[in-house]
Amino acid sequence: MKCPHCNNELNELPLCYGIEAPYYFYTVPEEKRTELIRDFCVIDEQHFFIRGHIEIPIIDNKEKFIWSVWVTLSEENFLKSNELLHVEGRENEKPYFGWLSTELSIYPITTLSLKTMVHTQEVGAVPLIELEQTNHPLAVEQREGITMERVKEIAHLINHSESIVEEATDIL
pLDDT at 161: 66
Q: How many helices (H) and strands (E) does the chain have?
A: 3, 9
Using 50, 70 and 90 to split pLDDT, how confident is the model at 170? very low
Question: What average pLDDT is seen over the chain?
Answer: 88
CB-based contacts of 101, cutoff 8 Å, min separation 6 = 22, 23, 24, 49, 69, 70, 71, 72, 112, 113
| Residue 38: C-alpha distances to residues 21, 59, 136, 148 (Å) | 9, 31, 28, 30
pLDDT at 141: 98
Using 50, 70 and 90 to split pLDDT, how confident is the model at 164? very low
List, for residues 55-80, the tens digit of each pLDDT value: 999 999 999 999 999 999 999 999 99
List, for residues 13-40, the tens digit of each pLDDT value: 899 999 999 999 988 887 767 788 889 9
pLDDT at 12: 77
